[in-house]
Amino acid sequence: GAGVSQSPSNKVTEKGKDVELRCDPISGHTALYWYRQSLGQGLEFLIYFQGNSAPDKSGLPSDRFSAERTGGSVSTLTIQRTQQEDSAVYLCASSVRDYYEQYFGPGTRLTVT
Amino acid sequence: DQQVKQNSPSLSVQEGRISILNCDYTNSMFDYFLWYKKYPAEGPTFLISISSIKDKNEDGRFTVFLNKSAKHLSLHIVPSQPGDSAVYFCAASGGGGADGLTFGKGTHLIIQP
């Protein structure tokens, strides 16, 4: 079966523009996670969805970041008015509810110029 | 503060020998630990996990050891193979999907022929 997919794989944008990143989780996985990895750092947890709801949004770095999930499947992470410090690889993962093994997509490399 | 620490940024091991990757954590609420492997331009791949009620879990060439009193875990790879060259991330979970996983910064394992 297909794994987690993300699009685009690479995105270069100008400072101040909005970007939208997409994640398609593994079919049947109800839990979905967004992380980001900045250069030389580990993965930083951003937000978690169980079904369509995100019980805790406090991991999002600023109010320029938002995420939604519809139909219990596809999720989008939106960054408004991008800044250079937003440059990172954004990773999405999904897991079967109540399991801890998260399966990651290949990531979207975002570069803000 | 970093709750999951991998103090060795890189490790070089000869093919056929044992690779030992170490990880320390500070949060006593963590109850599940995972190791992920990451190749360049790919998302992390789940390798092996261990629950806090165990002290050892083995899967083929991979064994994870957990020392709760020392808040330390290690991943042993025996024998090491060239394809094992990758970045290895230690991750921990606090008992619920809403917190995501807390990752270390990774150790770059290089297997020398």
B contact test, residue of A23, A29, A30, A43 with most B CBs within 10 A: A43
A53 touches chain B (CB under 8 A): no
Among chain B residues, the shortest Cα distance to A104 is held by B43
pLDDT digits (tens, 9 = 90+) for A35-44: 999 987 889 9
Residue ranges in chain A whose pLDDT is less than 50:
none
Distance from C-alpha of A90 to C-alpha of B9, rounded to nearest angstrom: 21
Closest chain B C-alpha to A81 CA, distance in angstroms: 26
Contacts of B53 (CB under 8 A, 6+ apart): none
Chain A residues near residue B42 by CB distance under 8 angstroms: 106-107
Residue-wise burial string across B49-66, b where 16 or more C-beta atoms lie within 10 A, e elsewhere: bbebeeeeeeeeebbbbb
Residue ranges in chain B whose pLDDT is less than 50:
none
Residue-wise burial string across A48-58, b where 16 or more C-beta atoms lie within 10 A, e elsewhere: bbbeeebeeee
Chain B residues near residue A56 by CB distance under 8 angstroms: 98-99
Closest chain B C-alpha to A71 CA, distance in angstroms: 19
Distance from C-alpha of A84 to C-alpha of A66, rounded to nearest angstrom: 17
Closest chain A C-alpha to B98 CA, distance in angstroms: 6
Cβ–Cβ below 8 Å for B49 and A101: yes
Residue B52's identity, in one-letter code, is S
Chain center to CA of A69: 11
Residue-wise burial string across B14-30, b where 16 or more C-beta atoms lie within 10 A, e elsewhere: eeeeebbbbbbbeeeeb
| Contacts with A, B 37-56, CB within 8 Å | 41-46, 49
Residues in chain A: 113
Distance from C-alpha of A58 to C-alpha of A43, rounded to nearest angstrom: 16
What pLDDT is recorded for position A101? 85
- Kindly write down the DSSP assignment for every residue of A40-102, as one continuous string: T--EEEEEEEETTB-S--TTSSSTTEEEEE-TTS-EEEEESS--GGG-EEEEEEEE-TT----
Contacts of A103 (CB under 8 A, 6+ apart): A3, A4, A26, A29, A93, A94, A95, B46
- Smallest Cβ–Cβ distance between B105 and the set A41, A98, A105 belongs to A41
Among chain A residues, the shortest Cα distance to B104 is held by A42
Give the 3-state DSSP-derived string for A1-16, with helices as H, strands as E and coil as C. Answer: CCCCEEECCEEEECCC
Cβ–Cβ below 8 Å for B49 and A100: yes
Closest chain A C-alpha to B80 CA, distance in angstroms: 24
| Contacts with A, B 81-100, CB within 8 Å | 89, 91, 93, 97-100
Distance from C-alpha of B103 to C-alpha of A77, rounded to nearest angstrom: 21
What pLDDT is recorded for position A57? 83
Residues in chain B: 113
